[in-house]
């Protein structure tokens, strides 16, 4: 057993005490302050700059228009799907917010999310390597900062599911390992605008430019509002305790910061038309594919069919 698994429970408790002590809004505020404080301890002045309240520096950088376009596009997609109960994703949508899943269905959704998170997070490490190969120190440092946060989230999810549903951590780790082995078999291919819509996230980060990590950071924007809606629903309908909620709690605020990293990376380094179109396609494809897969999942679930993870989904979530 690795050290991080041994300490998962203690870490979870430490973080979660905020959400026990204070109402959600105050807890989010304090947790968010904790993240900023961590930035101030950092040796990287860049992180300190980006994490300042109200930072909008990306708006003066070359890729600013692209980011504005993506945000507007996303608002349109959200509006179009406002009556779709499976939207935006398998683990946060009106079916769950209204408590329409049976407890065992909720458990399956939760386990599925762990498997997605475990493999999605692992593969983002490739973007650090890409930044190294590209000689982009700044991108490497920001991606590493993000990657470290996400690694801790994987631990939180493992702990929370095991605690909530009584599934042994060893079993979850074994299932995750099977998926990882499947992912590694994917073919190497150069990533460009022609294939970015068909490759998996794993392939995109492994073989594509480091800037694609910025697209994934931007994509985490929706995690904030979806987690804030999810939290009270899990408490009310599924009786989640504060210990069970550690992963959800952290996502009520942390991606406010991850999005800032993404805004900086994309706005500064997606300069050429090709780079910008690659980021745009990655972002939009993730959003559309996630909605499609979520709909298919619930169609099968409510038809009483076994819902297995497809290869397409295995790396479908950074978390």
List residues near Fe ion by CB under 5 A: 150, 153, 220, 255, 258, 319
CB of 150 vs Fe ion, minimal distance in Å: 5
For 5, how many CA atoms within 13 A lie in the half-sphere containing its CB? 9
Tracing tokens 């593969």 back to the chain, one arrives at 123
Contact 162, 169 (CB under 8 A): yes
Contact 266, 57 (CB under 8 A): no
Q: Could you give the CA distance from residue 6 to residue 155 in angstroms, rounded to a whole number? A: 10
CB of 83 vs Fe ion, minimal distance in Å: 28
Question: Closer to Fe ion at the Cβ: 240 or 247?
Answer: 247
CB of 303 vs Fe ion, minimal distance in Å: 31
Question: Closer to Fe ion at the Cβ: 111 or 301?
Answer: 111
Question: Closer to Fe ion at the Cβ: 41 or 148?
Answer: 148
- DSSP alpha helix (H) spans, 166-253: 169-184, 201-207, 211-219, 221-238, 246-251
Nearest to residue 218, comparing CAs of 152, 253, 271, 265? Answer: 265
Tracing tokens 């697209």 back to the chain, one arrives at 215
Question: Closer to Fe ion at the Cβ: 251 or 301?
Answer: 251
| Cα of 236 vs its chain's centroid, Å | 24
Which DSSP string corresponds to 301-313?
HHTT---PPPHHH
Question: Closer to Fe ion at the Cβ: 63 or 319?
Answer: 319
CB of 251 vs Fe ion, minimal distance in Å: 6
Q: Which residues contact 162 (CB under 8 A, 6 or more apart)?
A: 168, 169, 172
CB of 109 vs Fe ion, minimal distance in Å: 17
Tracing tokens 């993000």 back to the chain, one arrives at 146
CB of 249 vs Fe ion, minimal distance in Å: 11
Question: Closer to Fe ion at the Cβ: 84 or 225?
Answer: 225
Name residue 89's beta-bridge partners.
92
Question: Closer to Fe ion at the Cβ: 108 or 255?
Answer: 255
CB of 225 vs Fe ion, minimal distance in Å: 14
Peptide bond into 228 cis (omega under 30): no
Q: Of all helices (H) and strands (E), which one includes residue 122?
A: helix 103-133
């Amino acid at each position: 057993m690795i050290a991080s698994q041994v300490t998962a429970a203690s870490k979870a408790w430490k973080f979660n005490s905020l959400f026990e002590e204070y109402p959600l809004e105050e807890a989010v505020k304090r947790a968010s302050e904790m993240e900023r404080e961590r930035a101030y301890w950092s040796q990287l002045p860049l992180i300190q700059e980006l994490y300042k309240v109200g930072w909008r520096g990306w708006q003066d950088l070359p890729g600013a228009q692209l980011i504005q376009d993506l945000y507007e596009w996303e608002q349109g997609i959200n509006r179009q799907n406002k009556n779709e109960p499976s939207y935006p994703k398998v683990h946060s949508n009106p079916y769950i917010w209204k408590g329409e899943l049976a407890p065992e269905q909720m458990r399956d959704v939760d386990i599925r999310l762990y498997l997605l998170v475990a493999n999605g997070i692992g593969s983002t490490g490739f973007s650090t390597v890409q930044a190294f190969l590209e000689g982009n120190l700044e991108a490497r440092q920001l991606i590493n900062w993000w990657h470290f946060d996400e690694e801790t989230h994987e631990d939180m999810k493992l702990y929370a599911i095991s605690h909530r549903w009584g599934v042994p951590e060893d079993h979850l780790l074994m299932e995750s390992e099977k998926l990882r082995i499947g992912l590694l078999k994917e073919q190497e291919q150069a990533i460009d605008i022609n294939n970015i819509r068909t490759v998996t996230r794993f392939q995109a980060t492994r073989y594509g430019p480091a800037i694609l990590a910025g697209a994934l950071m931007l994509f985490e924007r929706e995690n904030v509002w979806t987690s804030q809606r999810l939290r009270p629903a899990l408490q009310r309908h599924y009786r989640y305790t504060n210990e069970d909620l550690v992963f959800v709690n952290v996502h009520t605020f942390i991606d406010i910061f991850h999005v800032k990293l993404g805004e900086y990376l994309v706005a500064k380094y997606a300069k050429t038309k090709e780079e910008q179109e690659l980021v745009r396609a990655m972002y939009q494809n993730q959003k559309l594919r996630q909605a499609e897969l979520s709909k298919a999942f619930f169609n099968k679930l409510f038809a009483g069919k076994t819902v297995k993870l497809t290869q397409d989904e295995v790396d479908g979530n950074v978390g």
